[in-house]
Structure formats: structure tokens, C-alpha cells
């Protein structure tokens, strides 16, 4: 169930150049599933549309959620979010989207693949996978994450939870290349992959999974307007006709953001 409320800022810090970690107190923290997102409304009413941000972590007992996001410029509104401090209020709508299918992990080797700002939801995916009842828990969880440089936000958080394969575009840390290069170099075995990141990365992940016979779920990144499936501003191409649209597309905010990779056209 979607809830709109005024959340309170517990803390906020810049954890890397232009990357912020924002912890908010929300009543629905215990309802959020890995891969879901929330919409944050800005105080600047000249920007009417909310900003969708994936959830990085939750603490159901404390009723908090952690969002890790990149400031992309004043025109995007994220610069205003970066000015929030403890005690401030911000209107939030969530949880939104469908999340990753954790039930597909039972007894399987899971590889969580993240690139850029697609890394934060992988942290929550790992936490929720490891918190499953023993008979539904994966056999093993491994991260494969890609950064541009050795400015590796969240890497320590990931390492505290599972083994991590790292790639960097400039070769300053880990494998020089893409996350797929890191996966091949690390000879990581997997039965199921969950992935979130830019489309070229998702395309490469899908191709790799087809090559290896791995079940793959991808979290799509598209520009959103309403965030609740009404405006059709965030459609992605699908391989089959969608039940809602009756054509080959789907709403990322409502039908996704997570899709079986076989269901979406990433070309």
C-alpha cells in the first residue's frame, strides 16, 4: 500500500563527491521490499514532479530508511535534497514499484550486480536475502559492482555483508573494465542475477546471462513523472504485448522497475 507522509530527516552526509546518504524516519519502513523506490517532493513548488530514489537500506524497528543518491544539478532538484539536515521534513510517497523476486533465491547462488547509482539497492537486496528463513535463503550471495574510479562509495558496506567483485572504468581498483569483465575474471558462478544500473550495463548483463543460462532480473532506470503508473512517461520496450498498454511497452514505475530480463528489450 502506497503511503504519502511528511518524513523527518534523521541524518544526511556526503559519502563521496556528489553522492549523499539520507536517512529518513517513515512509518512504512517495514513494508519496503528490495528494489522498490520512493518519491520525494521538493519544497520548491516550481518543480511539481517528485524525485524517485531507490531505497538502499531500512531499519523496520527504528522505522527508518536510507537513500543514497547523486546530486545531478540544480535543474534536477537533487541539489535541494542535499540541503536537508536533521529534523527537516520532506514529503515522501512509497513504497513504489514491484521489487526483486526474493523467492527466486531459495537454495541458489545469487549474484547482485550494480553500476553507479544502481549499487545502493543491491545493498538492501543482500540484507533481505540473508534475512530470509533458512529454507528460503540463497546458498551464496556475491556482489559485482562497477565504479568509474576508485571513489568507491558503499564498498565497505558491501564487504561487510558478502564477497565483492569490483571493476573500475579507469583500472584504479579491481578489474579494469566493466562488471562483466570482473565477473569473468573472478569466475563467479551464479544461478540467478539481480542487476541495477545504466542500460548499457543491463544489456551486457542480459547477454551474459543468456550465454550462461542464468536467470536474470533487471531494475530499469527511466525518467519518471507521476511515479504511480498514470502518466506513461517512463515506459520501456518489452518483448511481448503488455496487458495494460496492449502494445510492446510497460510502465517502469508501476509494472517495474524490476523485470525478468527476457521480458524487456534493452537494445
Domain contains 164: yes
68 occurs within a structural domain:
yes
User: The C-alpha cell of 142 is what?
Assistant: 556475491
Q: Quick check: is 111 in a domain? A: yes
Q: Are the beta carbons of 25 and 10 closer than 8 angstroms?
A: yes
Looking at the structure of the chain, the number of domains it has is 2
The residue among 252, 189, 250 whose CA lies nearest residue 220 is 252
- What is the pLDDT at residue 240? 82
**Of 205, 224, 225, which is closest to residue 266 (Cα–Cα)?**
205
211 and 164 belong to one structural domain: yes
Shared domain for 18 and 116, answered yes or no, is no
Q: Would you state the pLDDT for residue 246?
A: 77
Q: Say yes or no: 110 and 211 in one domain.
A: yes
Q: Which residues pair with 68 in a beta bridge?
A: 21
Q: Residue 166 sits in a domain of what CATH number?
A: 3.40.50.80
Of residues 254, 246, 251, the one with CA closest to residue 235: 251
Residues 117 and 188 in one domain: yes
Same domain, 89 and 181: no
Q: Strand (E) positions, 47-206? A: 51-59, 64-70, 89-96, 109-115, 140-147, 163-168, 175-176, 192-196
pLDDT in tens, 146-170: 999 999 999 999 999 999 999 999 9
Would residue 74 count as lying in a domain? yes
Is 118 a member of any domain? yes
Q: Last residue of some domain: 67, 96, 125? A: 96
Helix, strand, or coil (residue 78): helix
Query: What pLDDT, on a 0 to 100 scale, did the predictor assign at position 107?
Result: 97
Co-location of 15 and 83 in the same domain: yes
Residue 180, in any domain of the structure: yes
Contact present, 253 and 96 (Cβ < 8 Å): yes
Q: Which residue segment(s) compose the domain that 171 sits in?
A: 102-219
Of the three residues 96, 124, 148, the one that is the final residue of a domain is 96
Q: Is residue 242 part of a domain?
A: no
The torsion defined by the Cα of 21, 92, 221 and 158, in degrees rounded to 10, comes to 30
220-240 residue pLDDT tens: 987 787 888 888 888 888 888
Beta-carbon contacts of residue 232 (< 8 Å; ≥ 6 apart): 245, 251
Q: Are 8 and 38 in contact (CB under 8 A)?
A: no
Residues 112 and 187 in one domain: yes
Predicted local distance difference test score (pLDDT) of residue 229 = 81
Residues 154 and 60 in one domain: no
CATH number at residue 64: 2.40.30.10
Helix pair angle (179-186, 199-212), 10° resolution: 30
Show which of 96, 126, 146 is a domain's final residue: 96
Give the whole-number percent of the chain exceeding pLDDT 90. 81
| Ordered per-residue pLDDT tens for the chain, 267 residues | 899 999 999 999 999 999 999 999 999 999 999 999 999 998 876 677 889 999 999 999 999 999 999 998 665 689 999 999 999 999 999 999 999 999 999 999 999 999 999 999 999 999 999 999 999 999 999 999 999 999 999 999 999 999 999 999 999 999 999 999 999 999 999 999 999 999 999 999 999 999 999 999 999 987 787 888 888 888 888 888 877 667 788 899 989 999 999 999 998
By three-state DSSP, how is residue 101 classified? coil
Q: Specify whether 81 is located in the same domain as 119.
A: no
**Do residues 92 and 113 both lie within one domain?**
no
Between strands 3-16 and 19-25, the pairing is antiparallel
45 within some domain:
yes
User: Are 188 and 173 members of one domain?
Assistant: yes
Q: Are residues 176 and 209 in the same domain?
A: yes
Amino acid at each position: 500500500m502506497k503511503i504519502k507522509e511528511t518524513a523527518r530527516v534523521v541524518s544526511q552526509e556526503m559519502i563521496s563527491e556528489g553522492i549523499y546518504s539520507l536517512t529518513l524516519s517513515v512509518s512504512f519502513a517495514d513494508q519496503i521490499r528490495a528494489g522498490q523506490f520512493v518519491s520525494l517532493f521538493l519544497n520548491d513548488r516550481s518543480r511539481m514532479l517528485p524525485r524517485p530514489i531507490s531505497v538502499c537500506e531500512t531499519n523496520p524497528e527504528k522505522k527508518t530508511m536510507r537513500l543514497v543518491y547523486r546530486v545531478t544539478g540544480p535543474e534536477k532538484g537533487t541539489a535541494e535534497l542535499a540541503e536537508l539536515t536533521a529534523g527537516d521534513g520532506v514529503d515522501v510517497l512509497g513504497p513504489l514499484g514491484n521489487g526483486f523476486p526474493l523467492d527466486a533465491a531459495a537454495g541458489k547462488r545469487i549474484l547482485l550486480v550494480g553500476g553507479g547509482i544502481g549499487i545502493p539497492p543491491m545493498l538492501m537486496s543482500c540484507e533481505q536475502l540473508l534475512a530470509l528463513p533458512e529454507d528460503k535463503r540463497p546458498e551464496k550471495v556475491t556482489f559485482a559492482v562497477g565504479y568509474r574510479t576508485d571513489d568507491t562509495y558503499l564498498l565497505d558496506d558491501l564487504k561487510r555483508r558478502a564477497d565483492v567483485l569490483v571493476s573500475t572504468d579507469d583500472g584504479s581498483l579491481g578489474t579494469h573494465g566493466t562488471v562483466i569483465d570482473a565477473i569473468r575474471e573472478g569466475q563467479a558462478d551464479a544461478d540467478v542475477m539481480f542487476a541495477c544500473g545504466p542500460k548499457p550495463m543491463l544489456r551486457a548483463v542480459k547477454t551474459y546471462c543468456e550465454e550462461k543460462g542464468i536467470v536474470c532480473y533487471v531494475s530499469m532506470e527511466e525518467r519518471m513523472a507521476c511515479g504511480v503508473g498514470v502518466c506513461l512517461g517512463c515506459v520501456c520496450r518489452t518483448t511481448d504485448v503488455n496487458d495494460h498498454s496492449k502494445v510492446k511497452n510497460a510502465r517502469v514505475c508501476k509494472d517495474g522497475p524490476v523485470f525478468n530480463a527476457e521480458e524487456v528489450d534493452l537494445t
